[in-house]
Amino acid sequence: MAVLQYVFAIAFATTSSARAAEPPMKAIVIHEYGGPEVLKYEDVPRPDPKDDQILVRVIAAGVNPVDGMIRSGMFAKYEKAVFPMIPGADIAGVVEKVGSKVTKFKPGDPVFAYVTLKNSGGYAEYALMTEHEAAPKPNSLTYVEAAAVPVVALTAWQALIDTAKLSHGQTVLIHGGSGGVGTFAIQMAKARGAKVIATASTVRRGKERRIHRHTRSPDRSGRVE
């Protein structure tokens, strides 16, 4: 019995020491559903990637309307969150560490990614993801610009391509063409050879026209200019 107690004591001490050795990081953490007041700036252990994961040092993180919906508990009836939780799905940064089975990335690679909250969110100094959830950051984009891409671009793709099966010669009406999803939807539809008609509020019409000069944009009265 004394020997077993000694072994358990050594094992516990080793585990505690390993946990204590984990370097901390700063993160925005929520411990319960609620308004913006539940967002807490805290020190948390820096995650360590599993064999099929990469650890990215976050340089920029995107903020999306869905982040507030998740924080408020809007989707709680479909999937309960595991608290504490780090929110944020869009990130761009530099690969810090890779798992043993990762083949697409190496430390130092600039990437942008859609982060699933089951691993760790993007509102932190470091974030975990599988290599399939990340992509090389284009040289033409800054880290801030790249962090604004994943959620809105994926949403546009799923709506137009995966669901609607948009093809050459079809006509598509895109509401909110100057928003995050709309800007990508317009470009994707044009790239597929579709005719695009988009709507936007008067104050944002200039942005939409810059996206594509030939897009016809009705104003709130229904007129098309």
Number of domains the chain contains:
2
Residue type, 36: P
47 and 125: one domain? yes
- The least confident of 41-50, 79-88, 89-98 is 79-88
pTM for the predicted model, two decimal places: 0.77
175 and 205: one domain? yes
Which two tokens mark 158? 């799923």
84 and 128: one domain? yes
Domain that holds residue 154: 150-211
Residue type, 128: L
133 and 167: one domain? no
The residue out of 88, 122, 143 marking a domain boundary is: 143
Q: Is 2 inside a domain boundary?
A: no
What CATH number did the domain enclosing 181 receive?
A: 3.40.50.720
What sign does the dihedral 81-85-90-94 (CA atoms) show?
negative
The residue out of 83, 114, 143 marking a domain boundary is: 143
Per-residue pLDDT tens over the stretch 114-147: 998 777 899 999 999 999 999 999 999 999 999 9
